[in-house]
Amino acid sequence: METNEASSPRVSSNPIPYAKIVFALVITAVFLDVVDFSIIQVALPTIRDQFAVSLADSQWLIGAYGITMAGLLMLSGRIGDIYGQKKLFIIGILLFTVSSLSGGLAPSFLFLIASRAVQGIGAAISSVTALAIFIELFPEGRERNRALGIFVAVLSAGFAAGSVAGGVLTVVFGWRSVMFVNVPIGAVAAILSQKFLTENKGRLINGRLDIPGALSLTSGLILLVYGLTNAGNYGFSNLSAILPTLLSLIVLGGFVAIESRSKAPLVPLGFLRRGAVLSANVLGLIVGAIVVGLTFIFTVYLQQILGYSPLYAGLGSLPGAIIFFIGGGWGSARVVNRFGVKRALLGATALITLGSLLLTIISPHGTYLDVLPGFILFAIGGSIGMPALNIAAFAGTKPGEEGLASGLISTSMRIGFPLGLAMLLTVAGGAAGSAAIGASDPSASVAGAIVLGFRYALLAAAVLGIVGVLVALRLKEPEKPNQESSESNEMKLEELR
């Protein structure tokens, strides 16, 4: 059986040298992933035109990245626990940087997709080890909650900045510049990480990699995300979605069987039963599905139905980005510290659900102001819920489990992304198709059919939100750390300031 250095949550630790710089490097690693996600979306039409590929094929620039990232998050986190976070963190940043350069130089669309897949591997390694380093930097308590809020605020700003920067770079310098922009940032981050990160030999006693578990989990997750990506593009009834999804369930079932018999499991099943871990990860899957699916529908509605340009559609999303910046950066930590994680997540999922319901008023002849209240409620819920989810998922983490905890919640949310898109787009497509078939003037009712499909999809998101509320009700409130931990956290945050 796997054993750790301690049998209780880590409540204090020696001061980490250069804490301010380490915190900045942690944010930079995840910032690169967030910016890349938004920046490539804006450049996608230009890339599609240059390589003369279809809309469905162009989506693999997103899919290839998402598949490799989601598939390797869990494995990367556990490798960091066993062999140390520093080396793995630097390897991830270098992989991301080199593949960004090769993508910008891509002579063909296939080469660009391959570069994006390697980018996803680098992002998986760097982002999950970054979160593990964050957990070690801030033992749980009020100050971790506040630091996590700052973390989310910066990433929210990065998402908005990526959308704007993507448009400017694509127009002024061409789409290749959106790949090149990662290179200097990644290079500097790798150099600084080598200099300032503390060497960590791994915190597990007799830790060794569970090879059968690693192979089954990674292949199962890759197959699952591949199947869900195909479902989003072609529908759940397509064989390219059905076969990999079914195969993934078989492989992941085998993983559970392997872990239940392993002496050194990749994912100790007992960890899932600890405190709020299981509920937090299920909720992460649900919230991730709603957030990505609803954001996609909102963006398409602004551009295709209301006729907004990409620039104005981006500006239309700014209120949500500002709410995430303020609410995630400062509001969420205050809510959690005052009311607890459980109440914070109950309120967050309720607001997300209510926002989804209000957005069902969309119409072909509507205005931006009609949908703004629902979008704002949704954004407030998401800005509170995202940090609170991580707080719940990291609570009770023991030494040697930092990568396990960060990998698990990151994987849950990442799987939620394609799952949400596939589910909501399937609902929207089915409803829109039925409306178009029954219309007397199909050419005049295309917008109406699309909007009707979106309404059903938003209702489905609201139902999913209700399920999230029920999961939040079952969540166990994490135990509060002792006073020694709180004082240690205060000193670390003062150093960061």
**pLDDT tens digit sequence for 281-292:** 999 999 989 988
* Whole-Å CA distances, 401 to 129, 279, 298, 458, 466: 11, 18, 38, 37, 31
Instruction: Determine contact, residues 314/163, Cβ cutoff 8 Å.
Output: yes
Of 8-17, 235-244, 380-389, least confident by mean pLDDT is: 8-17
Whether pLDDT at 441 is above 70: no
Which residues lie below 8 Å from residue 191, measured CB to CB, with a gap of 6+? none
Give the residue numbers spanning the domain of 63. 16-206
Round the average pLDDT of the chain to a whole number and report it. Answer: 80
223 in the same domain as 127: no
| Residue 7 forms part of a structural domain | no
The neighbouring-strand residues paired with 4 are 204
Examine residue 47 and state whether it is found in any structural domain, yes or no.
yes
Residues 250, 397 within the same domain: no
In angstroms, rounded to a whole number, what is the distance separating the alpha carbons of residues 282 and 140? 21
DSSP 412-473: HHHHHHHHHHHHHHHHHHHHHHHHHHH-SSGGGSHHHHHHHHHHHHHHHHHHHHHHHHHHHH
The answer to whether the CB of 244 falls within 8 A of the CB of 223 is yes
* Residue 451 is assigned to a structural domain of this protein: yes
**19 vs 160, more confident:** 19
**CA dihedral sign, ordered 483, 484, 490, 493:** negative
Evaluate the CA torsion angle 394, 398, 403, 405 in order and state its sign.
negative
Q: What percent of the chain stands above pLDDT 70?
A: 84
pTM score? 0.78
Q: Could you tell me the pLDDT band of residue 164, with boundaries at 50, 70 and 90? A: low
Same-domain pairing of 177 and 229: no
- Supply the pLDDT for residue 411: 87
Please report the pLDDT score of residue 489 as a whole number.
Answer: 47
- Which conformational region is residue 4 in: left (phi greater than 0), alpha (psi within -120 to 50 degrees), or beta? beta
- Domain end among 246, 265, 284: 265
Q: Higher confidence at residue 372 or residue 198?
A: 372
Asked whether residue 8 is domain-assigned, the answer is no
In this structure, are 237 and 318 located in the same domain? no
Instruction: Check: CB of residue 46 under 8 Å from CB of residue 170.
Output: yes
pLDDT above 80 for 6: no
CA 11 – CA 299 distance, rounded (Å): 43
Q: Is the domain of 191 the same as that of 215? A: no
Rounded Cα–Cα distance for residues 345 and 202 (Å): 33
Confidence band for 215, pLDDT divided at 50, 70 and 90: confident
Q: What burial class does residue 309 get, using C-beta atoms within 10 Å of its C-beta: 0-12 exposed, 13-18 middle, 19+ buried?
A: exposed
CATH number at residue 104: 1.20.1250.20
pLDDT tens for residues 372-394?
999 999 989 988 888 888 888 88
Closest C-alpha among 213, 231, 209 to residue 289: 231
- Across 43-48, average pLDDT: 78
Same domain, residue pair 97 and 219: no
Q: What's the pLDDT score for residue 429? A: 81
Q: Are residues 169 and 276 in the same domain?
A: no
In a domain, 420, yes or no: yes
Same domain, 229 and 184: no
Residues 170 and 277 in one domain: no
Tokens 């005052």 correspond to: 338
How sure is the predictor about 430, in pLDDT bands with cuts at 50, 70 and 90? confident
pLDDT at residue 490 above 50?
Answer: no
The predicted-structure confidence for 262-310, as pLDDT tens digits, reads as follows 887 878 878 887 778 888 999 999 998 998 888 888 878 887 788 887 6
Domain shared by 328 and 182, yes or no: no
- Confidence grade of residue 202 (pLDDT, cut at 50, 70, 90): low
Nearest Cα neighbor of 317 from 362, 378, 389 is 378
Cα–Cα distance, 165 to 302 (Å, whole number)? 20
The count of domains in the chain is: 3
| Residue 3 per-residue DSSP state | E
Same domain, 386 and 298: yes
Q: Which of 220, 244, 265 is the last residue of a domain?
A: 265
Q: What is the pLDDT of residue 436?
A: 54
- Residue 212 CA to residue 4 CA, distance in Å, equals 21
Which pLDDT score is estimated for 434? 66
pLDDT bin (cut points 50, 70, 90) of residue 243 is: very high
Interval 340-369: pLDDT, tens = 889 999 999 999 999 999 999 998 888 999
Determine contact, residues 381/349, Cβ cutoff 8 Å: yes
Domain for residue 2, yes or no? no
Backbone angles phi, psi at 71, to 5 degrees: -70, -25
Residue 3 lies in a domain: no
Q: How many Å apart are CA 113 and CA 97, to the nearest integer?
A: 15
Indicate whether 9 belongs to any domain. no
User: Is the domain of 245 the same as that of 155?
Assistant: no
